[in-house]
Structure 1
Amino acid sequence: MRHQEYQYLELLERVLQRGDEREDRTGVGTKALFGELLRFDLRDGVVPILTTKRVYWKVALKEMLWFLTGRTNIRELLQQNVRIWSDWPLARFRNETGQKISQEDFEAKILEDELFAEQWGDLGPVYGKQWRRWLDAQGKEHDQIATLVETLKSDPASRRMLFHGWNVGELGKMALPPCHMVYQYHVTSRGELNCLLLQRSCDLFLGGPFNYFSAAALLIMLSQQANLTPGELIWVGGDVHIYSNHVEQVRQQISREPRPFPTMRLLRNPACIDDYKIDDFEVVGYNPHPSIHAEVAV
């Protein structure tokens, strides 16, 4: 069977060759295509952790577990040495105070000063808030994840098993509106759980590799909670793009040959979706090419 990673590498190549050159909100500029699809088979424990560059899968997993808590302050991430969300609150702090503080000093301040973290470390009602505490027009909160788990258990033939983060009334309060936006689930007659992830916007070089693995990890957790087996992850991208300052890195990645995907297993069966910890996950056989550094566009 052809290696699943080639579909990602071919998408990168298509964007480089045919992508529309566009200005974007960051000012960096992109090449972009609209409407792309990738499929990843998760049977037999295989997970799509890309191998043509090292993907720091524990960072991606810690982020997903943080989303599942419903909390939105970067202090909890920094306490786990996860820095992928620091750019947005740092930019807000610099803009509002005029202070030219370094990222390192800003993160240290967030960690050591709880009041400072409350003021400057919160991202607004981003992913986890919408997943676990969606606020409707009447002021009632809805736990979309809990509802999903219950439906997977009680009515697996339902066509209404999904959650999403595009809460129009709260978009203006978010540091970044949700990119991976809608997760829809489907259970086959064989008891396999599939997921279709709609991502409205994807930074293919930096964001995509995290998104594929995170969605797969969540599917594996949900499968265990509902006594199902992992099936397929279908990823649909809206605006899929390569930033102009990532082009050389992308060319380097495309030149590499994929290696076998690793497998992942859960070391215990937690009582509920809220109880998973980073140490519950074991990845075996991950042998990637070296990492390739690139700057995030804010």
Structure 2
Amino acid sequence: MTRSLSYALLDVFTDRRFAGNPLAVVEGAHALGGDEMQAIAREFNLSETVFLLEPRDPVHTARVRIFTPATELPFAGHPTIGAAAYLAETRAGDLLSRHGVAVVLECKLGLLRCEALRGRSGVTYAELALPVVPATLAGAPDGAALADALSLAPEDIGFDGHAPTIRAAGPAFVYVPIASRAALDRARRAAPFSDVIGAAAGAFLYTRETVDPASAVHARMFANGLGIDEDPATGSAAAAFAAVALEFERPDDGEHELFIEQGYAMGRPSRITLRMTVERGALTRVAIGGQAVRVGEGRLFL
């Protein structure tokens, strides 16, 4: 007998369809094995597909597993934001229209606590408080190696004291400051890319020259070993960017809000909200948020 599951397609980190980062959300996935989930993610061929399962603790909303076309991830931002918005809309739509809705997701990184609310435009916004503070890892490539890996000149790497680093809030990323948006637009993966990036999930390139004056940085993310080349909006990388901002910008103690724009080079403009709390010069809380819109629904035959 043919089995079938329902799924929805969402665009995340945007308030309009056909922008942001596309996401497939598969319902009722508790009967699926990891190999089946990986095959389905490869079939959708999006940067990530999230599978909703029954939670281990019934007080939580759902358990999630997240797959790229090539591998499973312990955590990713855009599937979490998209799943939280979708669950709030489909399971608590009336409440969402009047108040915010709390969504608690179980994943391999730990418990993900999200708040969802519906704006006046009718688009749902979800925000995730990370269960961990971003970590700083050793072994960042030097600027010359990164320039070679990204088809850039050495002088294109770095600005105002920002230097390449490796940070992680789940998957690790190499953070590469780029001197100008023109250089960022020129960046391309070159043959040494994977060797230079090493075990990191990708290279997160950023510059201060933005399209929207309200944005703090304009970014691109070239993936490494995930089955995709470039990602339109990378929530886990945006979350760990809080550690980059702390080191190089030295914000005062208190709460700070940054907007990260990404995806423009792919024709998928995206906007990620990053909130960070600094106490005594250290990060104590990091949250990411964004809007999500449903694009379509269907059934998946197995």
TM-score range, shorter chain: 0.3 to 0.5
Higher relative contact order (Cα pairs below 8 Å, separated by 6+ residues): 1
Higher fraction of helix: 1
